[in-house]
Every structure is written in C-alpha cells, then in structure tokens.
Amino acid sequence: MEDKGFGLYIHIPFCKKKCNYCDFISYINMEYFIPQYIETLKKEMDFYKDYCSKRKIRTIYIGGGTPTILQPEQLEHIIESALKTFRVYNELEISIEANPDSITKEKLHKLKNAGVNRLSIGLQAYQTHLLKNMGRIHSPGQFERAFLAAREEGFDNINVDLIFGLPGQTGEQWEETLKKVTALRPEHVSAYSLKIEEGTLLYDQYKSGIIKLPEEEKERGMYYFLIDFLTSRGYNHYEISNFAFPGKECRHNILYWKNKEYIGIGAASHSHFCKKRYHNEEDLEKYIEVFSLKNRPPIKDKESISKGLEISETIIMNLRLTAGLDKIEFFNRFGVDIKDLYRKEIELLENSRLIEETQTHIKLTKLGLDFANEVFVNFIP
C-alpha cells in the first residue's frame, strides 16, 4: 500500500538580493512583511492540521528565497509551530536552505536546537568573479567559514549547491570548485547545469549578447567530470543533478521524485495530495491579505491528477533517479505493468540506448542523462 507519510515544504520568499539566474518567487526589500508572513504560515499550517491528523510527516524542507534571512527566533518559531501542529515520524528530516552571508553562529545554534538536521548551503562556484557575475553577494571565504561553523555546531548532513555551465566558466575553474568543496567533505552535493530562465536578468543579458554560455560540448564535459570526480570520492550519483554519501540522500527531494504527497506552505508553494496539485498565490501581500480574509490558503492554480497523469508523472519523476523506476513498486502502486502501458516506447528508447532495463528497474543510460527530456517526452499523455 502507498506510504501515508508526507512531506512539508515551507517557502520563505525573501532575499537580500535577487541572483541573476533565479526565477523562483522571492522578494527583496520586503522584510517589513516578515512578521505578518510568519503569522500567515502558522495559520496555513493550522488549516491543514485536521486534514493531516491521521497522517505523519516524514520530512520538512524550508526553502526560498533565503530562509536564513529571518531572525534566529523567527526560524525557531516556524519550526516549533510545524512540530506542534503536525504529527511526525521519529526519523524526521528537517532541511533548511542557507546562504553563506546570512549564516551566523546564533542561527545555526537555534536551528540545531529546533531540530534542523540537514543544512543546504548555496555556494554555486568558488571563484569570486563568477559569483559576482551571477549576482551572488557572498565570497568563497564566507562560505568556508559558514560551513565550518555548521560542522562545529554539529551539523552532520550538509549539502552544497553548485552550478556549472556558467558564462565565462572554464573547466579548470569547475575542477577547482569541486576540489575545494570536496575537501570539506559535505555529505551531499547538488550540481545543476545552468538554465537560463525567461524573466531573469541573465536571460536579458543572454538575449542581448552581453554574455555567452560555454559550448554544449564543454558544458557536457563539466557534467561528465563532475560525475567522475564525485563518484570516485565516495559520492553516490543518485539523481541527474544530485550526489550524496550513501544514506545521506535528501529524503524530502526523493519524495518529489517518487511522486509522493506533500503540502507546501507559504506564497508560491506547491502541494500534491489527494490526487490534486495546488499552487499558492505568488504575490506576497495578496497571500497574506487573502488568507486573513478567507482564512484559507489562496490558491492560484489547482489541477486534478487523473490516474493516467499520475502514471506519467510517476514515470518521469522516477526516471530522474539514477537507480531508475522500480517496476515492482510501479506495479504495486498502479496495479499494472509499466511494460503493458509503454512497451513500444520502452523498446524504442532501449534501441536508441537512452534507457536500459534491469531485472527490477528501468533507468536512464549515461547517454540518457544528457537527453532525459527526449526520454520523458515519450511518457507524456
């Protein structure tokens, strides 16, 4: 039977400065709203309390934005409210995203005490000029100090976020970043290939020709290097862009990739439960205002997920995991053999050497990792 545990995502949409590549919902110079926002988060958790009374939370993920822009007490308060409102499993994973410039000893201490056991630090690159070009406001030194402070505070599950394929980035610089990061032995590394999103400063710069991306060939070279480098240092490459020491995989994200249920709290957050997906109002003030008027989360979009759609999404998301899609798990969930549904597609993709099949799984090949979308598109209804 389906695991009835679920995840909780809490969105903190505030930043000191917007990074040039970022298109997530986040506001700058809106700190004035933080206290009201936290109150609304609490109300929203209360709203879901009854619905979730028979179920337990497995993971909490506080993302942003920049969650660590909040005061230590505010962070503490949010986590305590969540733990008071929901029933939780014993081995609860609580992750929080942090920026090197807003991490302080006091915050780390309070977070640790509140139960946070996984820290995700956004570094992106180790070179000052690359950080500057991305609009990041921290230095490599700040990152190192933050990382060591976290270790000192007892965090034994730390992720470092990286980006490769940056404008002007060389293979040597990428290698340097990876060397310096792995020297610190973080338990987890997320390394994303840069994607230029419409509506970002980077997009405008790219369209007007001010910046140029590394050639695809070079960019793929960085990706292959990343995989070799990290796996040879004991990291398990478990998702297209994610690496972890065994047992340190991010459980919250795995919940997404296994297409499980989660509740998103806060402006612009996403939820998936009871065969539906919800997307909260993105506008900060509207989110706060409408909530206080109606006393329920302002929904921007809502979508019913039919069984067919759920099957598609499950396949696509699972295939992001390098272990691939577990055929038995699939059968148990949907009561049908995936090969009865997609025999032709699977054969075609195997012949193109984009996926491979083992006794238990269907997974992307090395080539398939480069062309994952070409694989996924075959499972879109």
Partner 1 sequence: MSRQERIRNFSIIAHIDHGKSTLADRLLEFTGMLSERKMVDQVLDKMELERERGITIKAQAVRLTYKANDGNEYYLNLIDTPGHVDFTYEVSRSLAACEGAILVIDAAQGIEAQTLSNVYLALEHDLEIVPVINKIDLPSAMPERVKKEIEDVIGIDASEAILVSAKEKVGIQEVLESIVNKIPEPKGSPDKPLRALIFDSHYDPYKGVIAYVRIVDGSIKKDMNIRMMSNNKVFEVNEVGIFNPEMLEIQELKAGEVGYLAAGIKDVKNIRIGDTITEAENSATEPLPGYKKINPMVFCGIYPADGGDYESVKEALEKLQLNDASLIFEPETSAALGFGFRCGFLGLLHMEIIQERLEREFNLNLVTTAPSVIYEIEKNSGEIVRIDNPTNFPDISEIKAIKEPFVLATIMLPNEFVGAVMELCQEKRGIFKSMNYINENRVIISYELPLNEIIYDFFDLLKSRTKGYASFDYEFLEYKKSDLVKLDILINNETVDALSFIVHKDRAYYLGRRIAEKLKESIPRHMFEVPIQAAVGGKIIARETIKALRKNVLAKCYGGDVTRKRKLLEKQKEGKKRMRQVGNVEIPQEAFMSVLKID
**Which residues inside 173-192 make contact with partner 1, applying CB under 8 A?**
192
Residues 46, 301, 337, 347: which binds partner 1 (CB under 8 A)? 301
Give CA–CA dist 144/205, Å, rounded.
Answer: 30
Residues 43, 55, 112, 220: which binds partner 1 (CB under 8 A)? 220
- The stretch among 69-77, 118-126, 133-141, 310-318 that binds partner 1 (CB under 8 A) is 310-318
Q: Residue 184's CB: how many other CB atoms inside 10 A?
A: 14
- The reply to whether 225 sits near partner 1 by the rule CB under 8 A is no
- The stretch among 44-52, 79-87, 131-139, 212-220 that binds partner 1 (CB under 8 A) is 212-220
Give CA–CA dist 142/122, Å, rounded.
Answer: 11
Query: Which x/- pattern over 251-270 shows residues binding partner 1 (rule: CB under 8 A)?
Result: --x--x--x--x-x----xx
- The reply to whether 371 sits near partner 1 by the rule CB under 8 A is yes
Peptide bond before residue 171 is cis, with ω within 30 degrees of 0? no
- The reply to whether 195 sits near partner 1 by the rule CB under 8 A is yes
- The reply to whether 219 sits near partner 1 by the rule CB under 8 A is yes
Give CA–CA dist 49/276, Å, rounded.
Answer: 18
58: left (phi over 0), alpha (psi -120 to 50) or beta: alpha
Query: Which x/- pattern over 1-20 shows residues binding partner 1 (rule: CB under 8 A)?
Result: --------x-----------
**Quick one: 64 or 186, whose CB is closer to partner 1?**
64
- The reply to whether 151 sits near partner 1 by the rule CB under 8 A is no
Query: Which x/- pattern over 53-92 shows residues binding partner 1 (rule: CB under 8 A)?
Result: ----------x-----------------------------
Is residue 14 within 8 A of residue 74, CB to CB? The reply is no
Task: List, in sequence order, the alpha helices (H) in the chain.
Answer: 34-49, 72-85, 105-114, 128-133, 140-153, 171-183, 201-207, 216-231, 251-257, 284-294, 307-319, 327-334, 338-351, 366-370, 372-376
- The reply to whether 271 sits near partner 1 by the rule CB under 8 A is yes
Give CA–CA dist 11/9, Å, rounded.
Answer: 6
- The reply to whether 213 sits near partner 1 by the rule CB under 8 A is no
Give CA–CA dist 201/23, Å, rounded.
Answer: 9
Give CA–CA dist 135/271, Å, rounded.
Answer: 30
**Quick one: 108 or 319, whose CB is closer to partner 1?**
319
CB of 42 to partner 1, least distance (A): 20
DSSP string, 112-129: HHHT--EEEEEEE-S-HH
- At residue 17's C-alpha, the angle toward residues 13 and 22, to 5°, is 65
Residues that bind partner 1 (CB under 8 A): 9, 24, 63, 192-193, 195, 216-217, 219-220, 223, 240-241, 253, 256, 259, 262, 264, 269-272, 277, 279, 301, 303, 312-313, 316-317, 352, 369-374, 376-377, 380
